[in-house]
Chain A
């Protein structure tokens, strides 16, 4: 993951003209700070099916060496799709949604 930059808002003289944005720049910024709920992983219920990784619309499930290892909370929006899709073990979900405490 790229280092997270703190967004420094430029003045009109320094901003690139005409609403020009570099491609793929979301990786460099924290875009999940408005989340109201967050997914919490329960490893003992995880069967490593990677459904969560497939379904996450924001590429916020961190997979290392083919294994689910947790969430990228800088970018996760808390949509809950991963929790809905997670089959878990014997009916016990490996992802549950919790209220975000600010």
Chain B
């Protein structure tokens, strides 16, 4: 591994704010909410200090924040915002509009439980509620990934084959407020990597006036939605290419998924976000005792990496899928549901067990993950979702 350069101690929020400084978007519109407040607060300081050329719009709600970004993006600007939990929920209405109008807005998102009961800590119910919105969704394991993914997200979203918005999210407090050493890139390299935003059509182009967002009834809506569906499908290739290019330039490659010691694994877990880091510790420990276990981390949940998951898990005997959100369908939570759906295509299907953990920021410990692996290896799994760490 090459020697790490330019190491800086940063929390997840600081890392995302620094990425935004280096991206230097034209417009940032935001409203504060714990635990994402710092991202835009730090960024507003960069604006005040003249370190960026961004127009910062302090709005009265998250609904307005995303609305302002939509207006700015349609006008031809590179627009970004940051939010969390209820803030994202207040954006839901506008998220579908950003995606439907094909506006490449990036949201720095910190995963936090949704009310009620009110809770400020991390789970993934907020972004999971937006999983059908047409946004790309990138979940980060640590601050480094958050920093790198923000930079890549700009390129991915603005790619002509994609033109969709994205959330880049970190687990509330676990990543957003924990200090880690991250490798930062020089400002000019980020600037060069993201390039400038050159929309094909932009409303401030007075020489080519057009209408955006007109009523679209039975005769056209379906065709426009079909285009959006195709954009989401094509995004997979773009995400892979840009993740690879990032790796070639800066030494850290990214893909839709990351696998850890899966090659000969008999049991594996599937997980999103910071818990992947904890699972790696468990895997290393248990492998010392000869247990053949591994992990699949879903980095990009939208579009869903069904091909990669199927390929990676085809030889595993038993898979435990860990959801940090339930989904309330009375059956099985969303990540498990989609993983199971894509594995159904295999002739030799692994057994699947479902686990919900960490709601409202409840700790997920090394011991809990060890227990999950032990259950998977015991062959005594059943189809009922298990709730890890909840008092009976």
Contact = CB atoms under 8 A, between A and B. Distances in A.
Contacts of B220: 9, 15, 19
B227 A15 contact: yes
A10 B213 CA distance: 18
Contacts of B179: none
B211 A17 contact: no
Grouping DSSP codes into helix (H, G, I), strand (E, B) and loop, the A interface class, with mixed when no group exceeds half, is loop
Contacts of A12: 222-224, 226-227, 230
A23 interface: yes
Interface residues on B, range: 20 to 34
Interface residues of A, number: 13
Contacts of B230: 12
Contacts of A22: 210-211
A12 B223 CA distance: 5
Interface in A1-15: 9-12, 15
Interface in B197-234: 201, 209-214, 216, 219-220, 222-224, 226-227, 230-231
Instruction: Kindly name the residue among B101, B210, B216 whose own CB sees the greatest number of chain A CB atoms within 10 A.
Output: B210
B21 interface: no
Contact of B101 (A11, A19, A21): A19
Contacts of B20: none
Contacts, number: 49
A99 interface: no
Nearest to B102: A18
Contacts of A11: 223
Contacts of B213: 19
B163 A9 contact: no
B36 to A, nearest CB: 28
A31 to B, nearest CB: 13
A20 B210 contact: yes
A42 B222 CA distance: 45
B100 interface: yes
Contacts of B101: 18-19
A23 B227 contact: no
A61 B212 CA distance: 28
Nearest to B160: A17
Given A12-B224, A15-B224, A20 B201 contact: yes
Nearest to A22: B210
B277 to A, nearest CB: 38
Nearest to A15: B223
B226 A18 contact: no
A24 B210 CA distance: 8
Contacts of B227: 12, 15, 17-18
A19 B101 CA distance: 7
Contacts of B102: 17-18
Nearest to A25: B211
A11 B226 CA distance: 10
Contacts of A23: 209-211
Contacts of A24: 209
Instruction: Kindly name the residue among B201, B216, B224, B231 whose own CB sees the greatest number of chain A CB atoms within 10 A.
Output: B224
Contacts of B163: 17-18
Contacts of B201: 20
Nearest to B221: A19
Contacts of A20: 201, 210-212
7 contacts: A10-B223, A12-B223, A12-B227, A18-B227, A20-B212, A21-B212, A24-B209
Given A15-B220, A23-B209, A24-B209, 17 more contacts: A12-B222, A12-B223, A12-B226, A15-B223, A17-B224, A17-B227, A17-B231, A18-B101, A18-B163, A18-B212, A20-B210, A20-B211, A20-B212, A21-B210, A21-B211, A23-B210, A23-B211
3 closest A-B pairs by CB: A23-B209, A18-B102, A12-B223
